[in-house]
Amino acid sequence: MKLEQLSKAGRDIESASFQIIENEIKKLEFEYDFTAPEWEIIRRVIHTTGDFDYKRDLHFHQNAVMAGVRALCNSCKVFVDVEMIAAGINRKRSQYFAISVHSFIADEDVLERARFNQTTRAHEAVNKAYEKGLLDGAIIAIGNTPTSLIRIVELIKEKKIRPALVIGVPVGFVSALESKEMLVDDDDIKMEDVPFITVRGRKGGSTVAVAIIHALMSLASESVSKSNIESKNNKKCEKLKKCKAVTVIGVGTNGCSGITPEAFGKVMEAEVLFAAERLLDFFPQFKGEKISIKSSQSYVSLEQQLRSVVERSYEQNVVILSSGDPLFFGVAKTLLELNLVESNFLEIIPHPSSMQIAFARIGVSWEDACWISLHGKVDLRYTDGLILGLANKIKNKHKVAILSDYKFTPVQIAKYLLDFHPFLSDEWQLAQAVVAENLESVDEKITYYSLQQLAREERDFSSLCILILLKNREKQKERIINCRSEKEYTEGSDSTLCTKKEIRLMSLDALEISANDIIWDVGAGSGSIAIEAAELAYNGKVYAVEMNLQQIAICRSNIYKFATDNVQLFEGEAPSVFDNIIVDGVAGVDSPDGVFIGGHKGKLAEIIISAHKRLRVGGRLVINAVTLESVSIALQTLALLGYSGSKAPEVTLINISRTSICGNESNGSNYNRYNPLNPIHLFKVKKI
């Protein structure tokens, strides 16, 4: 059965329009030189634009229609250059084929990259899609921005991507014609034989791109209904046609009495109810099938459980219960982040979150709080006892709210934080720790402590518990950039091995660290680079590699001194130790966004090659070289990796001098002069 999107009246109007187009074409005595499926697309474009010139100007690769239909039936990704196209693609049709549509041109980071690289947003949006792996096997639709199409052609020529189909129909006067000619006539593109649909000349636009996609969807739905090709996807599409919206309902600890009549009615109408056991117990009157969420210790992940429940929604009415606000560290957020359900097919009925209620109980505003959830997070604890990033995230915050559970209790959190030096400071000594338990229930309890008092508490807390930490804001002093002196990293030890702060600042800038990045520090020494990188990547991770036992001890001490518990220290010699890096029991995961090489023990070439191999595409490799031999090796090795000529590494020679006093202090003949530090060559490349 064909996918229907119109009412009977709408179908009658569409049919009449198509008949008019057919009659007009006959009057023009137009000679058909395309296949019937190609005519379906041309007719749809004429219907959309009212322009009969498209009968002449649309140009098809011989496999274009087949490739587009096959990609849709395989639930491909669709990348579009502008949001207008994304908005124009019918969402129900997208759900029918389980495709995802992506556009990045309006993203803030895309604008920043365009300014930095002096390119266009359209160009950088394509780069972002490439870095995310969204272009291979995708349908790419370009309707407005010729620079997007030019960049797509470049990536195809460089054999970096192979889309299923390129719809290249940008409109305009600057580069529009040229970009389409590149897609059709470039010899390298012809050799790659990537299917395309384009428009000759300057015409085109978002409406044309959308019309082509909708025509392909109509052809694909007919293909699914009329033949057995792609039988597996046929079944998938048939199931998707019956897909009902998944409803997620927030529930408080007061159960049924705390939800709206609308929400209660949704629960009673459901055929499947999925929730934690304690939430299911609130609805003994429910007659359908109850499915309990398996604990975090189960071999079945939450993602697998949710995926299974969403598949049930193809045939049945599914309701998922969540504590509080489902989008606040809740299951609805997980569904959307994993792309298990599109937002327009997900109905969310929220309840006030436990965080909101907790702050209301103590009479404190919560809009400026730092929110952290440790609830059910089995993967946060490192093998050496660190809770990933907790201390680092909150050490400079004045208001913190933490969702705890049986594994990370308020007492354990307090004891853990007090292991780090910043939490022994006066401002944290005076901080208030508030524990809110069993909110909205008869067992509700609010208790006030200092951090030290909480760490000494012996009673058990409820597993439904929130810890709020409040510092005196007047005493709060935040440093935007923590570029510390070398003495702060080496005091109390005999070591002087520490990257000078001026060099450190320029190296960190070269790494272009974002909040969620994964950074490797090779030859970490005292840990100065790793620690300050971790403060920039406060939601990410830093892996520090060091082989010297004395330096390892200093680095570990500094991790606690500066409360950077998102730094994980690995002992061993690079590059062989790279293969031994274990994260969550798995070797070789977490490809870095940036790698800093500060020490190499004579194995610089091997380290560069090995680190570059593991670096993600677009990631930054930064090297500090002191000796001329190291400079030579770095240049030669990077050239072997393809960084030469126009792609040569960015190299900066850094000469730093600091003032010192000379002369005889006793007779007052003191003078200030400059003492030079060792020159440093700073190398930087972005992986291509």
Residues with catalytic roles: 47
Instruction: Report whether 597 contacts 611 (CB < 8 A).
Output: yes
Q: Which one, of 421, 547, 413, lies nearest residue 469 by Cα? A: 413
DSSP 8-state secondary structure symbol assigned to residue 586: E
DSSP 8-state secondary structure symbol assigned to residue 294: P
Count Cα atoms within 13 angstroms, Cβ side, for 485.
4
Q: Please tell me the distance from the alpha carbon of residue 368 to that of residue 470, in angstroms, as a whole number.
A: 12
Q: At what angle do helices 628-640 and 604-614 cross, to 10 degrees?
A: 40
DSSP 8-state secondary structure symbol assigned to residue 381: B
Q: Which one, of 130, 133, 149, 141, lies nearest residue 84 by Cα? A: 141
Q: Please tell me the distance from the alpha carbon of residue 303 to that of residue 305, in angstroms, as a whole number.
A: 5
Instruction: Report whether 470 contacts 364 (CB < 8 A).
Output: yes
Q: Please tell me the distance from the alpha carbon of residue 533 to that of residue 547, in angstroms, as a whole number.
A: 20
Alpha-carbon distances of 224 from 27, 73, 243, rounded to whole Å = 34, 8, 17
DSSP 8-state secondary structure symbol assigned to residue 387: B
Instruction: Report whether 589 contacts 596 (CB < 8 A).
Output: no
Tell me the torsion sign for CA atoms 599, 600, 604, 610: negative
In a 3-state reduction of DSSP, which class is residue 450?
Answer: strand
Start-to-end C-alpha separation, the chain? 46
Tell me the torsion sign for CA atoms 131, 133, 135, 136: positive
Q: Dihedral of the CA atoms 199, 200, 201, 207 (nearest 10)?
A: -10
Q: Please tell me the distance from the alpha carbon of residue 150 to that of residue 154, in angstroms, as a whole number.
A: 6
Q: Which one, of 553, 489, 547, lies nearest residue 522 by Cα? A: 547
Q: Please tell me the distance from the alpha carbon of residue 180 to that of residue 162, in angstroms, as a whole number.
A: 17
Q: Tokens at residue 261, please? A: 């009549």
Chain CA centroid to CA 668, Å: 61
Listing DSSP states for 600-619 in one string gives -TT-HHHHHHHHHHHSPTT-
